[in-house]
Structure 1
Amino acid sequence: MTNWSPVQANPDYTLPDWQRAHGEPVFQGLIKQTASDFNVTEILGYELSGDGEHDFLWIEKEGENTAWVAERLASKAGVRDMDVGYSGRKDRLAVTRQWFSVRRPTGTGTDWDNFNEPGVTILKQTRHEKKLRRGAHSGNHFKIAIRGANADANAINERLELIREKGVPNYFGEQRFGRGGSNLNLANGLFTGRRLKRNKRSIALSAARSYIFNQILQFRINEDCWDKAIPGEALNLDGTGSVFVEKQIDANLQARLLSLDIHPTGVLWGSGELICRDEAAKIDATIAAQFEVLSHGLQKQKVKQARRALRLAVHDLKWELEDETLWLDFWLTSGGFATSVLREVVDHATGNNA
């Protein structure tokens, strides 16, 4: 590691153009020109029993956000909003498929065949014993069209091969922070005495810890150690919440790092002690301290500290380039943002028609 100075806090929480790992984008292009250009299919990762007090609905939506669909399901069933579950929020400007659960105790039921909302279709339904909880899915499958891909095909192929081999920085996407970083300003207000409703508080807390994490990841990219284990590293097993610390990074662990089986991690700041040690802990703690309002606010709100992989493996990546349209097909583990993959390939704008 070089001698370093941590990033400086920006009191306005302006979102930077986070440092890329694989160089500048290969071309400029357009995503989400239509909703069908951005397809997301949830991978639940476990079997539903077919019995129990929760209806499970496999829903396709277009042009609507996940929370709004959940509210409409609650209204249709005549239950509280909290009786409806979903594992993750999916893009609004997209065609997405995901599971929702609705608590329906034995002896009650809803005629879901008569659920009519524009842009929302129930594709199938079953039942299960437990409510669908946030983060319960194992991943998401993406099929994305990027329009205006007029770069050299060899350059595009080389960049995508590199991404397939090495993964991408596991940044939280811009949508986590709101338009112009508005969710960070919300967090700043919460931490300086403003009272927020429960859902707004959750958004603010999530944005605050995501911002600190992205700053840590950006620093480690600049130090060329975002995909390497440094002294005291806490390592994550790909696709799981399992995190472990090894005193010695031996040849076996190095091989697992190279194969994307395990990843270095950064802190999701909150109350509690850092589990990493030495240089890794120094980076986490020092950069978090540069954003004192956010880091202290998270601790005061008793948000429990956690870890997140610094690297995101892009699984089963395939692509096709035809008539200046690049189609990407891949899946990411839960919590990964497709935009973190796209930004390593294309400087993209979003269409107005999606």
Structure 2
Amino acid sequence: MSDPSRPGDWPRATEADFGPPGPGEFRGTPEDFVVEEILGFVPEGEGEHLWLWVEKRGLTTLEAVRHLAKASDVAPRAVGYAGMKDRIAVTRQWLSVHLPGRPAPEGLAERLAGCGVRVLEQARHPRKLKRGVHRANRFSLRITGAALQQDLEERWAWLCQHGVPNLFGPQRFGPAGRNLARAHALLARGWRKRDDREGMLLSAARSYLFNELAAMRLTDDNWQRLVGGDVAMLDGTASQFGVETPDAELEARALRLDLHPTGVLWGVGDSLATGEAARYESAVAERHATLCRGLEQAGVRMARRALRMRLDQPRLTREQDGARLDFQLPRGSFATAVLRELIAHPNLTLSAEA
């Protein structure tokens, strides 16, 4: 397992068959990293909240939220969003702003365009856009470098068949992993909301613990199949059920990517895992007792996350001096976890500014 000061040094699923990938480049320009949020429903057309389908470039989601709040003369808390999107990218997502009894501010689209946020569509809806309500994200990524001259198609086909480790991406841990170092220090002395108002450090700690668990399962080559006492999750849903002993039918469904083993997102509560699966969790808890104890004392509720993600609608297209990867991932999954299986790049191990 990795050193807490160096998040991202976790095993790759493809290395057993192909060895480590060659060097590659990604996100050379924002247009090389295109993300489109898939909401799964449409605004109703009326209500107190104005929903905006926007395209941003060179901005984080929180920066776009602040620009919308300022342009609408509201507090940032009146603005809603479903998911955080990358800065060095072209991203399309919904934002909502609470405007009860008010029309859209005059010149809103023009003001936002001057800040790097282009309004593509707008509609009214009765409710604020909440975190995590979107269904998925669609990615279109361009990669270049020596890795493309090796076995790119073979690695890609392997991932399409077997799935991808559902690791949290290095951007979750901040530049050079500093969010994790800050989280460790904060949880060691006792978490306080005033020191972590957005919960970013709690999230970094939970993500690290999950990746540590996934690394153990990757090392033992059972990250993609059920072990005794696992909690399985149906693909594309949050539905879960315990598996005391995997039978032939469940093993076949896991092979087809219909369901996935899960790992714990640490906090207060019962992880639901038993037997061999629980022993993996206990090993992580023993190794990282300070983080686990700090999360429990902070009152974070325990949850579960699939150890594997399926590439939906995958396509690899060779381009001049590069390749374009198109695929869809469920919400909360990271495209950088896919890229690290295909190319070696420093930013896929230790996060740079993103």
Whether the aligned pair in 1 keeps the contact of 2:228 and 2:243 (CA below 8 Å) is no
**C-alpha spacing 1:121/1:109, structure 2 compared with 1 (3 Å):** closer
Give the ranges of 4+ consecutive aligned residues of structure 1 lying more than 3 Å apart after TM superposition: 149-153, 193-201
Alignment partner, residue 3 of structure 1: none
Task: Say which SS state the counterpart of residue 250 (structure 2) adopts.
Answer: helix
Q: Which of residues 154, 166, 177 in structure 2 aligns to 1:158?
A: 154
Instruction: State whether structure 2 residue 66 is matched by structure 1 residue 71.
Output: yes
CA distance in 2, matches of 1:338, 1:16: 14
Task: Say which SS state the counterpart of residue 141 (structure 1) adopts.
Answer: strand
Deviation at 1:134, TM superposition (A): 0.8
Q: Which of residues 312, 316, 319 in structure 1 aligns to 2:313?
A: 316
Instruction: State whether structure 2 residue 214 is matched by structure 1 residue 214.
Output: no
Whether the aligned pair in 2 keeps the contact of 1:31 and 1:349 (CA below 8 Å) is no
Task: Say which SS state the counterpart of residue 105 (structure 1) adopts.
Answer: coil
Deviation at 1:58, TM superposition (A): 0.5
CA distance in 1, matches of 2:104, 2:30: 33
Task: Say which SS state the counterpart of residue 24 (structure 2) adopts.
Answer: strand
Deviation at 1:349, TM superposition (A): 5.1
Deviation at 1:316, TM superposition (A): 1.1
Deviation at 1:132, TM superposition (A): 0.8
Which deviates more, 185-194 or 45-54?
A: 185-194
Residue deviations 1:124-143 (CA, integer Å, cap 9, x gap): 10011111111111111000
Alignment partner, residue 121 of structure 2: 124
TM-score (norm 1): 0.92
Which deviates more, 290-299 or 104-113?
A: 104-113
Whether the aligned pair in 1 keeps the contact of 2:136 and 2:328 (CA below 8 Å) is yes
Deviation at 1:40, TM superposition (A): 0.4
Report the residue type matching 2:122 in the other structure: Q
Report the residue type matching 2:75 in the other structure: R
CA distance in 1, matches of 2:169, 2:159: 17
Which deviates more, 44-53 or 103-112?
A: 103-112
CA distance in 2, matches of 1:74, 1:148: 41
Alignment partner, residue 247 of structure 2: 250
Could you list the runs of 5+ residues in structure 2 that have no partner in the other structure?
Answer: none
Report the residue type matching 1:330 in the other structure: F
Report the residue type matching 1:211 in the other structure: Y
Which deviates more, 194-203 or 165-174?
A: 194-203
Alignment partner, residue 104 of structure 1: 99
Which has the larger helix fraction? 2
Residue deviations 1:44-90 (CA, integer Å, cap 9, x gap): 01122111111100010000110011011111112221111101110
CA distance in 2, matches of 1:96, 1:334: 14
Report the aligned-residue RMSD.
2.1
Could you list the runs of 5+ residues in structure 1 that have no partner in the other structure?
Answer: 1-6
CA distance in 1, matches of 2:55, 2:274: 45
Q: Which of residues 257, 266, 274 in structure 2 aligns to 1:269?
A: 266
Deviation at 1:107, TM superposition (A): 4.2
Alignment partner, residue 333 of structure 2: 336
Whether the aligned pair in 2 keeps the contact of 1:226 and 1:311 (CA below 8 Å) is yes
Residue deviations 1:101-156 (CA, integer Å, cap 9, x gap): 11111345423334333321011100111111111111110001102256446x21
CA distance in 1, matches of 2:344, 2:238: 31
Report the residue type matching 2:277 in the other structure: A
CA distance in 1, matches of 2:191, 2:278: 31
TM-score (norm 2): 0.92
Q: Which of residues 7, 10, 13 in structure 2 aligns to 1:15?
A: 7
**C-alpha spacing 1:103/1:166, structure 2 compared with 1 (3 Å):** same
**C-alpha spacing 1:294/1:52, structure 2 compared with 1 (3 Å):** same
Alignment partner, residue 32 of structure 1: 27
Deviation at 1:343, TM superposition (A): 0.6
Q: How many residues align?
A: 344
CA distance in 1, matches of 2:221, 2:206: 23
CA distance in 1, matches of 2:203, 2:254: 28
Alignment partner, residue 278 of structure 1: 275
Q: Which of residues 163, 167, 183 in structure 1 aligns to 2:163?
A: 167
Deviation at 1:30, TM superposition (A): 0.9
